Each structure stands twice: as C-alpha cells, then as structure tokens.
Amino acid sequence: MGKSVLIVDDSLFIRNILRGILEENSYTVIGEAASGIDAMKKLHFEKPDIILLDIILPDSNGLDLLESIIKTKPHSQVVICSSIGTEPMIQKTLDMGAKAFIQKPFTPEHVAEVLSRLES
C-alpha cells in the first residue's frame, strides 16, 4: 500500500482532481477536509504520511493551521498546494516546516513528481 494522504482544500473540484492523481500514482487517500476545523478534526484521529494543504481556507488562516500541524503532527509531511505562489510565501511555508510547495494550477505529472521526491 502506498503512502497515506489527507487532502485539505475547500474546492471539491480540486479535491477530486488531487484524489484522481494520487490514486493513479498508488497513494492511499485516507480523507478529505474542506476547512481548517475539518482538517484538525481528521488529523486528530488519523495519521497520514502526507498532508496536501491549501493555505486559503474558508474558516481559518492556513498559515496558523500549518503552524499547528507542524508542531502537533510531526509524523506527517506537509506539502502546500496553493495558488499564492509568490517567492516570499513559498519561502515562509518552507521555513515553517512544509516539505514542498505545489503551485496551482498544477499538472498531474508535477504533483506526482513533487510527492515522489519526499523522503520516505
């Protein structure tokens, strides 16, 4: 079984596309969350290897959520998936502890490549 992934994005469209890409590449999607609170809840009870995290969420600041995840879920690797791909923002999330940044819009190949580069 491939690595387990939790997808956090408020767009059902993006979640479905990401799920499609992940499943095609033998990852196991263990859940999806559409908001920050939903993500925290799922993360409290599941331990995914990878968290794909959008930083614009309807109920909470994604950077606050990132800080909380990095500190409380050290076993998960966080990959940011966002369209705010300015250099300072990318650097900030990486400095905070995210492992990689996927710029939206993405291609399936790019997502697969970024995830395959994560340490096992």
Note the residues at the interface with another protein (CB under 8 A). Answer: 10-14, 16-17, 20-21, 24, 35-38, 40-41, 44-45, 56, 59-61, 64-65, 67-68, 71-72, 83-84, 104-106, 108
CB of 53 to another protein, least distance (A): 13
Residue 84, exposed/middle/buried by CB under 10 A (0-12, 13-18, 19+)? middle
Q: What does the longest C-alpha to C-alpha distance in the chain come to? A: 36
Contact predicate 24/18, CB 8 Å: no
Q: Kindly state the tokens that stand for 57.
A: 């969420």
Residue placing its CB nearer to another protein in the complex, 26 or 72:
72
CB of 58 to another protein, least distance (A): 8
